[in-house]
Structure 1
Amino acid sequence: MKVTYNWLKDYIQFDETPQELADKLTEAGFEVEEMYPLYPDFSGVIVGKVESVKKHPDADKLSVCIVNDGQERYQVICGAPNVAEGQTIPFAKIGAELPNGFKIKKVKIRGVESFGMICSREELGLEDKSDGIWVIKRDYRPGSDLNQLLQEEQDIVYDFFITPNRPDCLSVYGIAREVAAITGNRLRFPEFNMAEDRSQKAADMVSVSIEDLEGCPRYAARVIRGVTVCPSPEWMQKRLKAVGIRPINNIVDITNYVLMEVGHPLHAFDLKEIKGNEIRVRASRINEKFTTLDGKEREIPEKTVMICDKERAVAIGGIMGGQNSEVSDSTTDILLECAYFNPRRIAVSAKKLGLSSEASQRFERGVDPNGVLRAIDRAASLIGDLGSGKILSGVVDVYSEPIKPAVVSFRPERVNKVLGASLNKETIVQKLQSIQLDVNGNQVTVPTFRVDLKNEIDLIEEVARLVNFSNLPSKKTTVVRYEFEQAQGEVLLQFLRRQMLDIGLQEILTNSMLNKEDAVLFEQNTEPIHILNPISDDMSAVRPSLLPGMLKSVAYNINRNQFNLHFFEIGRVFTDYRPNELPHQPYHLAAMITGNRYPEHWSQKSVAVDFYDIKGLLETFLDKIFLDNIEFI
């Protein structure tokens, strides 16, 4: 998730330097994987003006340009298809050094000399791929140092690693919310003007129905008429490029901008392509096919949420729009969609389709179902401002079963017990309130954008990270008190384990699964119990005895010249299987010794263990567990 330093300042004021902010967010659980300046350093590149463009006399795809730097004119060979007379461009003079280390020299190309280079944004390190030279739209004076001009607008880009349980932070506003909690400063959302056309209602223009409520609990639509599709303003393009999104046009860019701003995906349909001015949300049909925005026809998996008009599907809900209803240069009326989809359904469909988008990544983790109206209003207001459109009055909002904030039981005193800290109740409550949780006695109301907070321990973890883990006391040892007594069976097993260790045996743990052939050797009365879906043939049955695993352990050690072995194992065996019932699973104890009776020593000869050694160990063990009335037969 990419965010810029200055974009964050639209929502919260803070004094931390870029590095200090990165450190604080990392300590709060948001790892900054990368941090870099928006504009890299370069030298010798100035603002130039293209005075003329002529075809190269000996190359079809090259042009001979005359570039003016405000004082002199330079002849430059250019291969970009978009170079034209009158353009303001970045001009790298001889001796300039680009961000990739390339130095500009005087060259001769097909017999014509070139005294510099007209640069693209890619060559200046401003984007990954460019289709042509950078045509500068700003009123820069020819001859100005371009690097210096860009440094005046410098920004820092953060690339955060956001864990799957924190979809609320897959947005600039979500990160700003965390900055507010860390710094204690006030969070604000930019004010926007929702100038609706009261003479027309959206509900009179379009209708929305949801047939698949499980897949789409909420769907909202707005209508904006009379829009002009054109390039989005430079400030918006700059921000989208900074976070890795390619600008397309003002309508698409606005939906992407709001997606990155508040983390809620939207989609814009060309209203004239929506048959019957009707939206129906349904589950996919068997063998249904659909052509997505990327031009690929896809077979839609079963139970995929489909957005349809009166006659056909127009989008795969929460994943990607359709080619048959996309916004084009001729679009004048927009149907703007903002919805909440079932995360599980989106995750399953996206995986089966092999189609991961910015929208699906957020929907499958869980967006805020109650943030739909803010997102759609924000986008509609921007379309009204930047697309010269009229916003029809009202929102068509189908939300039959509103999703309510969760209420979690919380004991403030338990925080210190779990964290080993000594925080007072006021601090604990303040930390929870700083992330917009409502604390009322022993009840905490969790807003719907925090899908990860479900239990008391989740709230304790929030307190820990906001206090800062490094501020919590550290201990080399911690006393763990059992709140519940151990089961009698477990107490008995531990007692037996201690007695075996006391008589000099070493505990081993062997696999409870083995191959069928070995199992047959130790199950004399019935067929061994087979595993229905074994991970390998060597683990296709469960053990009827502890002996197969112990023998393998002995063999393994002997093969590595370890002969003096004193092993025991306590574990379950599996016998007496009957259909539709679990097998009998009693605990068994087995011991095995091999090698010499005593460790080798110069003062005595080595003596191999025999029956009487194992008999003596058994008698000692039975005596220790108070079984003295025994008889060997």
Structure 2
Amino acid sequence: MQVSIKWLNDYINFNETAEELADKYTMAGVSVENVIRADAGLDKVVTGKIEQIEPHPDSDHLQICQMNVGAGECIQIITGAQNVREGQIVPVAMIGAHLPNGLHIKKGKLRGLPSNGMLCSAEELHMDLTKLTDEQKNGIYILPPDTPVGVPAKDVLGLDDVVLEFELTANRGDCFSVLGLVREAAVLTGNVPHYPDIQVREDDEAAAADLIKVDIEATELCNRFSARVIRNVKIGPSPEWMQQRLEGAGIRSINNVVDVTNFVMIELGQPMHAYDYDEIKGHHLTARVAEAGENLHTLDDSSRVAKGTELVIADEEKPAGLAGIMGGLETEVTEKTTTVVLEAASFNGPNIRRTSRACGLHSEASGRFERGVDVSNTPRALDRACQLLQDMGACTVTKGVVDVYPAPKPQVRIDFTVDEINRRLGTQLPGSKMIDILERLGFGVRETASGAYQAVVPSWRNDCTYMEDLSEEISRIYGFDNIPSTTPFGRMMQGRQSLRRNFIDRIKHVLAGLGMTEELSFSFTNTDMLDKMCVPSDSKLRRAIPIMNPLTDEYPLVRTSLLTSIMENAVRNFSRKNTDIRIFDVAPVFYPKALPVTEQPDEVIRLAGLITGRRHPVGWNQSNEMVDFYDMKGIVEELFRALSISGCTVEAGEHFAMHPGKTALFKKGREVIATVGELHPAVAANFGIKQKVYLFEMDVETLMKYTAKNFHYKSLPKYPAIARDLAIVVDEDAAASDIEAVIARNGGAYFKGVTLFDVYTGEHVAAGKKSLAFNLQFQSSDKTLTDEEADAGFQSILEAVKTQFRAELRA
């Protein structure tokens, strides 16, 4: 938002300089980002009259001008311009001037003769060339013959304005207007504003209600829709003063009708639109939701296909405009227009913002609707527009305003006490001071009890709903620098991370030490990713929460699985020819209790990882072996060891995204704490992946539950261990983990551990059988074992595996 000081001065007088006023605004929370001076570099540029011209004796193109600049005596200036004549008045840059184009004027000589300044062109004065004729653009800029001599050129050129460029926060929609800024200036400077007196002469015999009908179908997206009709419209240029005001706001002048709608939008903060009455089919406008596939042809001559969520203003045949953003091309006001419908409405801000982003179309109007407009302002804005056009002699105004306002907005009332405000601000302000500030800001205040008050919020302050908002208003006007700084009092506590955060950091540290890289991803996904991951239709992972205002249309859902993010990142790496990947992610997923969401969803921290490609980095002394299932299984086992999770069993399992027969479940009792496996071939095909990929997935809360919390230390054994190897032949479908469990139960008091070190099928082993070789460890903590004691444990184990697995000793 930018506005010129001249426009502010139209409604309030103040003695502060532009910089001082900008500082007051900023300190009150209405941030001024920049002060732009149109007269920058014109301090020593004055108007001068060419009294005499004669050719330069040593040049065929230079001319010697004797200039009257109001200093009594003429000064000599040499110029090469060919469009100057005696008696003309032109801008003259005096010695010492620093022009906007960076040129520094010094006393000098041209072909031996002195020159004491320079005659200026429009470009050198930084004038807007688009508003000038070709003759004014070329050569020296010639001023009107009645221009006084010796006065600052900026005054006669209209370059004496200053523009304030505001960087307003989203909650201050009321300041996106000149009158809103005037209200603030009045409070900050103590001056009394003089707002425009809006009066309309309804000088046309026709009634607006007989000419146009307006309706609201989407009442949740449009809460007020107002219209006026003007006839006998004469399309033409706007007055110079209006063009200057709009130019100061960064808006290009088009014609009087369009300029007036823009002027009222900037002045009152209420966007408006003008329709050619004769192009409105059925002379009926309706605020409704667009139908999916409907064509939206806007003023920028672009056609967009509606998705069925956009709010449009439609006539009886088609949309006549994209509500709150841009009007339609078919109903545009042109030079042939004689009757105009002026429309002002109040639209739902979040819907306008979503539509604006989806269409990639942002306008001055949409920016205001997104932040919220004063719903009570629509008839006033229409009256102001009619008044301005009448003053130009550009129309007649029909009788009445067609106004549809089905659910008037109730007044917001806020109860507060003086003590509450002072406690919050750390001040000792009296109630009278607080009331004075609030009333100057437009709030109505009445006392309800001793020291207790009720404030009635003005219609333009949509951001004020609680006592805390009132305390902010009081503090910013009272002055933040007037509030004393005090040291907070309270018991000092050492800041520390939560146990969960420490646990997650341990996970990240271990996996990074194992050569994996942490990825950071958005918590969003889409149904296409769930389809590619082959998530079952009845899985809870399909019950993802839709986002009301997604960052992009590609990610409309909140993710329910980390594997979607992991796979998306892997595919992005594959597309960039990086096929050696080791990544993991520790992040939340979200499960709704019900859809649509009525309460906070469950946020669950999950851990997922992926490896693929070569086992070792490329190097002359490294092999090109590819990672396999056991690399991923080893990573998980090492993670569990580092997290002090022991006693896990591993068994074959199933997972929708992993290869059947190549998926393992790590369990503690009956609870699955990790799933490890090869990517399912169907999932790999969906993503276009042509190499083996391995995944793991687990729940962080479950890992925390099983990590060891109490540790007991034992001294190292003093006595040697005895090892025995057991090689047995069992059925091919016998699980080694089941056999190890039987070995542990039957090993006796001196049994210490078992390790599987060989698996063999093939020659010398019968079909349907396999050979398993285990290393058994026996040890005593208080003596040296004898072979007989170790053999007793070995025989007990052998008998048990023969009985339970029909095992045979392998010869």
In structure 1, what is the equivalent of residue 341 of structure 2? 335
In structure 2, what is the equivalent of residue 40 of structure 1? 40
Q: 1:208-263 deviations in whole A, cap 9, x for unaligned?
A: 11222122111111111112111111111111111211111111111111111111
Question: Aligned ranges for residues 1-20 of structure 1 at < 5 Å?
Answer: 1-20=1-20
* Post-superposition offset of 1:200: 1.8
Distance 1:438 1:480 in 2: 41
In structure 1, what is the equivalent of residue 31 of structure 2? 31
Matched, 1:456 2:467: yes
Matched, 1:539 2:585: yes
For the residue of structure 1 that corresponds to 2:344, the secondary structure is strand
Letter of the 2:484 partner, please give it. Answer: P
In structure 2, what is the equivalent of residue 358 of structure 1? 364
C-alpha distance 379-420 of structure 1, shift in aligned 2 (>3 A): same
Q: 1:560-591 deviations in whole A, cap 9, x for unaligned?
A: xxxxxxxxxxxxxxx889xxxx9978986989
Matched, 1:367 2:373: yes
In structure 2, what is the equivalent of residue 124 of structure 1? 125
In structure 2, what is the equivalent of residue 403 of structure 1? 409
* Post-superposition offset of 1:424: 1.2
Matched, 1:194 2:240: no
Distance 2:380 2:89 in 1: 40
Letter of the 1:423 partner, please give it. Answer: L
Q: Which has the higher contact order (CA 8 A, sep 6+)?
A: 1
Letter of the 1:33 partner, please give it. Answer: E
Matched, 1:270 2:276: yes
Distance 2:640 2:268 in 1: 57
Letter of the 2:350 partner, please give it. Answer: R
Matched, 1:420 2:426: yes
Asked if 2 retains the 8 angstrom alpha-carbon contact of 1:269 and 1:325, the reply is yes
* Post-superposition offset of 1:128: 8.3
* Post-superposition offset of 1:75: 7.9
TM-score (normalised: structure 1):
0.70
* Post-superposition offset of 1:312: 2.1
Matched, 1:232 2:243: no
In structure 2, what is the equivalent of residue 296 of structure 1? 302
For the residue of structure 1 that corresponds to 2:165, the secondary structure is strand
Distance 1:324 1:68 in 2: 58
For the residue of structure 2 that corresponds to 1:307, the secondary structure is strand
C-alpha distance 69-27 of structure 1, shift in aligned 2 (>3 A): same
Matched, 1:282 2:288: yes
Question: Aligned ranges for residues 141-152 of structure 1 at < 5 Å?
Answer: 141=147, 147=153, 149-150=155-156
The alignment yields a C-alpha RMSD, in angstroms, of: 4.6
* Post-superposition offset of 1:45: 7.1
In structure 1, what is the equivalent of residue 209 of structure 2? 203
- Radius of gyration: which is bigger? 2
C-alpha distance 11-552 of structure 1, shift in aligned 2 (>3 A): farther
In structure 2, what is the equivalent of residue 470 of structure 1? 481
Asked if 1 retains the 8 angstrom alpha-carbon contact of 2:90 and 2:143, the reply is no
Of 447, 469, 476, 2:458 maps to: 447
For the residue of structure 1 that corresponds to 2:409, the secondary structure is coil
Distance 1:460 1:381 in 2: 39
Letter of the 1:457 partner, please give it. Answer: E
Asked if 1 retains the 8 angstrom alpha-carbon contact of 2:204 and 2:396, the reply is no
Letter of the 1:182 partner, please give it. Answer: L
In structure 1, what is the equivalent of residue 100 of structure 2? 99
Distance 1:465 1:15 in 2: 21
Letter of the 2:28 partner, please give it. Answer: A
Letter of the 1:443 partner, please give it. Answer: Q
Distance 1:434 1:383 in 2: 32
Letter of the 2:461 partner, please give it. Answer: R
Matched, 1:172 2:140: no
For the residue of structure 2 that corresponds to 1:20, the secondary structure is helix
Asked if 1 retains the 8 angstrom alpha-carbon contact of 2:79 and 2:119, the reply is no
Distance 2:500 2:285 in 1: 67
For the residue of structure 2 that corresponds to 1:509, the secondary structure is helix
In structure 1, what is the equivalent of residue 59 of structure 2? none
In structure 1, what is the equivalent of residue 502 of structure 2? 509
Distance 2:401 2:195 in 1: 21
Distance 1:117 1:444 in 2: 61
Distance 1:185 1:550 in 2: 74
Matched, 1:214 2:220: yes
C-alpha distance 362-538 of structure 1, shift in aligned 2 (>3 A): same
For the residue of structure 2 that corresponds to 1:324, the secondary structure is coil
C-alpha distance 370-232 of structure 1, shift in aligned 2 (>3 A): same
Structure 1: gaps of 5 or more residues: 50-66, 108-114, 482-493, 519-528, 554-574, 595-608, 614-633
Over the matched positions of the two proteins, sequence identity in percent amounts to 34
For the residue of structure 1 that corresponds to 2:330, the secondary structure is helix
* Post-superposition offset of 1:14: 2.8
Asked if 2 retains the 8 angstrom alpha-carbon contact of 1:259 and 1:266, the reply is yes
* Post-superposition offset of 1:419: 1.1
C-alpha distance 94-146 of structure 1, shift in aligned 2 (>3 A): closer
In structure 2, what is the equivalent of residue 380 of structure 1? 386
Distance 1:136 1:266 in 2: 39
For the residue of structure 1 that corresponds to 2:39, the secondary structure is coil
Structure 2: gaps of 5 or more residues: 51-64, 69-73, 111-116, 512-539, 542-558, 567-582, 587-604, 609-635, 645-670, 674-698, 717-811
Per mean C-alpha deviation after superposition, the further-off stretch among 129-138 and 452-461 is 129-138
C-alpha distance 13-142 of structure 1, shift in aligned 2 (>3 A): closer
Asked if 1 retains the 8 angstrom alpha-carbon contact of 2:154 and 2:160, the reply is no
C-alpha distance 203-243 of structure 1, shift in aligned 2 (>3 A): same
Asked if 2 retains the 8 angstrom alpha-carbon contact of 1:275 and 1:309, the reply is yes
C-alpha distance 444-103 of structure 1, shift in aligned 2 (>3 A): closer
Asked if 2 retains the 8 angstrom alpha-carbon contact of 1:39 and 1:151, the reply is no
Distance 2:27 2:312 in 1: 41
In structure 1, what is the equivalent of residue 629 of structure 2? none
